[in-house]
């Protein structure tokens, strides 16, 4: 019991230190709200980076956070204290966060009970403080149905689901859209600057099909040159197309690189879906299993993945020619 109490006390000490030392802006937030020029936190979809090449997302509705994901950890709906902060230690993972003093950036923190290591994430609003891709998005569902759409900054246009045209629909401040046509309803939301996650339902039917679509820049606009992924800014770019090989345990590793994302990520018998490209890095996760790594040359990618037994497998794969 003494060990458990000591571990719990260590976590509380870390949390209190972060709340006291980091969010000076939280203390001034009340004063900021008294300034009528500050509108306060704006509802929207927030996305950002954390350490270890991880990402974070949540929707802010005005009094709570929904669809919270910090790295590989999903959280339930979270009510904010006085619209500014949260702290939650209801399970083995402790999370907390607060708005910056200007209410444009949200800082979130995560630690595991008994650990002194704290992971930090910085998020800003998609579509305003963090622009999203304008243009064509393409994706597929688990059973192969294709989804296509174009985004002009305000509306989704030319939405197509499995050869069925659903027309145009407005995107709300939470970066969501919803449209029904005939016996098909399509719901979608931006979960990253170049990634839309959605589901398709059929009225009167309990079936739900999940899908994701990624931004595909138009080649004739110079968004990406043929044969290479998005520029990393220092001399060379990863080649896109199929990559394949084996990890050092003999499992097959494969994925496909597009101008702004990777798809069809798999290792052994595990499928990791897709993920946005972040320069020369990407991290794809499904069901708390992740595959991540970085390019070491234009055609070589080195990384690692962990299986359901938490074993780590390292690999090096090459672009298929």
Rounded distance between C-alpha atoms, residue 186 and residue 199, angstroms = 6
Give the distance, in angstroms, between the CA of residue 132 and the centroid of all CA atoms in the same chain: 13
- Determine how β-strand 241-246 pairs with β-strand 252-257: antiparallel
Chain segment 92-103, per-residue pLDDT in tens: 788 889 888 778
Confidence band, pLDDT 50/70/90 cuts, at residue 64 = confident
Q: 64-68, 173-177, 219-223: lowest mean pLDDT where?
A: 219-223
Q: Do 132 and 175 touch, CB atoms closer than 8 A?
A: yes
- 167 forms bridges with which residues in the sheet? 159
Residue 10: per-residue pLDDT = 52
Who has greater pLDDT, 113 or 208?
208
Who has greater pLDDT, 192 or 179?
179
- Determine how β-strand 105-112 pairs with β-strand 93-99: antiparallel
Percentage of the chain exceeding pLDDT 90: 17
3-state secondary structure of 311: coil
Of 55, 48, 45, whose CA–CA distance to 290 is shortest? Answer: 55
> Is the per-residue pLDDT at 151 higher than 90?
yes
Summary mean pLDDT of the chain: 78
Chain segment 268-295, per-residue pLDDT in tens: 888 888 888 888 889 888 877 889 888 9
> Is the per-residue pLDDT at 242 higher than 90?
no
- 74 forms bridges with which residues in the sheet? 69
Rounded distance between C-alpha atoms, residue 261 and residue 196, angstroms = 12
Residue 234: per-residue pLDDT = 52
Residue 291: per-residue pLDDT = 92
Q: Do 302 and 291 touch, CB atoms closer than 8 A?
A: no
> Is the per-residue pLDDT at 229 higher than 60?
no
Q: Do 244 and 320 touch, CB atoms closer than 8 A?
A: yes
- 202 forms bridges with which residues in the sheet? 205
Residue that the structure tokens 């709200």 belong to: 33
Give the distance, in angstroms, between the CA of residue 266 and the centroid of all CA atoms in the same chain: 19
Confidence band, pLDDT 50/70/90 cuts, at residue 235 = low
> Is the per-residue pLDDT at 209 higher than 70?
yes
**What tokens were used for 254?**
């494969």
């Amino acid at each position: 019991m003494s060990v458990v109490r000591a571990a719990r006390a260590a976590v509380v000490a870390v949390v209190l230190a972060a709340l006291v030392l980091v969010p000076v802006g939280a203390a001034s937030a009340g004063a900021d709200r008294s300034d009528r020029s500050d509108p306060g936190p704006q509802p929207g979809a927030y996305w950002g980076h954390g350490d270890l090449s991880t990402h974070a997302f949540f929707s802010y509705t005005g009094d709570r956070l929904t669809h919270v994901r910090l790295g590989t950890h999903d959280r339930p709906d979270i009510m904010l204290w006085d619209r500014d902060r949260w702290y939650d230690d209801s399970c083995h993972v402790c999370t907390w966060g607060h708005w910056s003093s200007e209410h444009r950036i949200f800082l979130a923190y995560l630690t595991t009970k008994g650990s002194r290591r704290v992971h930090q994430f910085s998020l800003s609003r998609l579509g305003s403080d963090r622009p999203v891709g304008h243009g064509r998005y393409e994706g597929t569902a688990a059973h192969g149905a294709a989804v296509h759409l174009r985004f002009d900054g305000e509306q989704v246009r030319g939405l197509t689901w499995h050869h069925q045209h659903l027309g145009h629909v407005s995107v709300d401040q939470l970066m969501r859209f919803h449209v029904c046509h005939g016996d098909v309803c399509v719901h979608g939301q931006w979960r990253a600057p170049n990634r839309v996650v959605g589901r398709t339902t059929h009225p009167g039917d309990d079936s739900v099909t999940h899908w994701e679509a990624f931004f595909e820049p138009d080649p004739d606009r110079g968004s990406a040159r043929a044969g290479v992924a998005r520029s990393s800014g220092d001399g060379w770019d990863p080649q896109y197309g199929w990559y394949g090989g084996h990890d050092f345990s003999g499992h097959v590793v494969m994925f496909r690189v597009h101008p702004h994302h990777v798809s069809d990520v798999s290792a052994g018998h595990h499928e990791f879906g897709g993920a946005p490209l972040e320069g020369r890095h990407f991290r794809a996760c499904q069901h708390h299993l992740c595959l991540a790594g970085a390019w070491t040359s234009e055609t070589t990618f080195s990384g690692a993945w962990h299986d359901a037994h938490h074993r780590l497998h390292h690999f090096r794969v090459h672009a298929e020619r």
